[in-house]
Amino acid sequence: MDVIPCGPGFGAELRGTTLSDIASDEDTYTAVRAAFEEHSVLVLRDQDVSDDVQLAFSRRFGQPEVTKVGSQGTGTYFVVLSTIGPDGSAVPPDHRMALRAKANQLWHTDSSFKRLPALASVLSARIIPEHGGETEFVSTRLAFERLAPDMQQQLENSYAWHDYAHSRGQIAPDLASPEERAALPAQCWRLVWRNPANGRGALYIASHAYAVEGMEASAGKALIDELTAAATAPGSFYLHQWRIGDVVMWDNRATMHRGRPWPAPEPRLMVRTTISAAETDGLASMRPPFGQAAE
Ligand code: OGA
Ligand code: MN
């Protein structure tokens, strides 16, 4: 297997291996896990992907997440990102499915709004539009490392609140349904996630983050916006242009990503599996000392 860097200081393509090799061979898994800890985004091309193969691969890295209420694939291990309606053609731009795709176009990390946040996500392309529909990534580890030491220290001792309804509310006020709101109370996490494999810290921010504990609401929001802008500065992106057979895996502790738009009439279908973070992935130090909000 070759590990070939492909982004601005992060991201690597794995060549000469397959999802099945990684799922079944201990030494290959160990090498891929090391590449994941180091490069944060891993790209595999020309894969023979099925739901089963993707799930078996994902399981090597930890416990797969069960898809939440309100998402396509709810109750399974798969999140189906699709704008294809029941009649087989793309839904109109004001349809809930299209609005959800638009919410995915905000810079975010997956599952920061869940009780158990995510270590990693694995995304495979099943139907892709001819133009657009790329996925962009930035490294929040490199963004953290670009900050002044006193700012780093302040953030390391700060906690942000994350709420699914907040990110969806930026697209449409009622995009988060009452069921989703009830199932997903806001969660609070340290603003810096330190990777136990290499000791490196990363900003833990997302479109879901809306407040900083102990800061006045607008000042906290301004800090989150400022950190997001710094993390997504020009020149810091890896843009993934999808081909059928591509699989991209990313570290939700150390990156943000966003989908890019594509012409509305064209269908796009992607399938994601998500791996929950374990205490050994650094989750232990992410929890606030004051506990989460009462439900
Ligand atoms: C995701 C996601 C963006 C895209 O799968 O978590 O945000 O480009 N996808 O589909
Ligand atoms: Mn996402």
pLDDT (0 to 100) of residue 264:
87
State the ligand closest to the CA atom of 260.
1
Mean pLDDT value across residues 29-41? 98
Where along the chain do its domains lie?
Answer: 2-286
Q: Cα(22)–Cα(60) distance, rounded to whole angstroms? A: 8
Question: Which of these, 115, 125, 121, lies nearest to 68 by C-alpha position?
Answer: 115
pLDDT at 295 over 70: no
Helix (H, G, I), strand (E, B) or coil at 146: helix
Mean pLDDT value across residues 261-287? 96
Please state which of the ranges 80-94, 100-114, 120-134, 209-223 shows the lowest mean pLDDT: 80-94
Percentage of residues in the chain with pLDDT exceeding 70? 99
> Which backbone phi and psi does 274 adopt, to 5 degrees?
-135, 135
Which residue has a Cα nearest atom 6 of ligand 1? Answer: 110
pLDDT (0 to 100) of residue 291:
85
pLDDT at 108 over 80: yes
Confidence of residue 61 (pLDDT cuts 50, 70, 90): very high
pLDDT at 195 over 80: yes
pLDDT at 113 over 70: yes
pLDDT (0 to 100) of residue 8:
98
Mean pLDDT value across residues 47-56? 98
Based on the number of CB atoms within 10 Å of its own CB, is 290 exposed (0-12), middle (13-18) or buried (19 or more)?
exposed
pLDDT (0 to 100) of residue 292:
83
Mean pLDDT value across residues 274-295? 92
Q: Which residues surround ligand 2, an ion (CB under 5 A)?
A: 110
Ligand 1 pocket (Cβ < 6 Å) reads 81, 104, 110, 121, 123, 135, 257, 259, 270, 272
The residues near 248 (Cβ < 8 Å, ≥ 6 apart) are 41, 42, 43, 44, 122, 123, 135, 240
Our mutation pick for probing the ligand 1 site, out of 121, 137, 256, counting the most ligand atoms within 8 A of Cβ, is 121
pLDDT (0 to 100) of residue 293:
76
pLDDT (0 to 100) of residue 271:
98
Which residue has a Cα nearest atom 8 of ligand 1? Answer: 259
Which residue has a Cα nearest atom 10 of ligand 1? Answer: 259
- How much is the mean pLDDT over the chain? 97
Q: How many angstroms separate the alpha carbon of residue 184 from the centre of ligand 2?
A: 16
Q: Cα(276)–Cα(219) distance, rounded to whole angstroms? A: 31
2-286 CATH choice from 3.60.130.10, 3.40.50.2000, 3.30.2020.10, 3.40.50.300: 3.60.130.10
Confidence of residue 186 (pLDDT cuts 50, 70, 90): very high
Helix (H, G, I), strand (E, B) or coil at 43: strand
CB 203 within 8 A of CB 144: yes
pLDDT (0 to 100) of residue 294:
65
* Amino acid type, 71: S
